[in-house]
Amino acid sequence: MGNYSNNYTKIATDVSSEEYSFSLNYDTNYYLKIVAKDEYGGITASDEIYFKTKKEPTTLQWEKIFLK
């Protein structure tokens, strides 16, 4: 996984689960490839996957107003 195309950092190895959790930053481009290895030494890589995370939610502050 990385922030630029074809510039990846390995984030996991020997994952046998269908799920894997990790943290992402707001408003950030991500690129990743999934590489699968089988017990016979076969290797298959996915195409590059691109996504962008949402912008940070805006925090609203409320002020109580008394009407007469």
Structural domain spans, the chain: 1-68
pTM beyond 0.75: the answer is no
Query: Using an 8 Å Cβ cutoff, are 32 and 8 in contact?
Result: yes
pLDDT at 25: 92
What is the model's pLDDT at position 63?
A: 67
Q: Which parts of the chain are beta strand (E)?
A: 29-32, 35-37, 43-45, 49-52
- Residuewise pLDDT in 10s, the chain (68 residues): 999 999 999 998 888 888 888 899 999 999 999 999 999 999 999 999 999 999 887 766 666 666 66
pLDDT given at position 56: 83
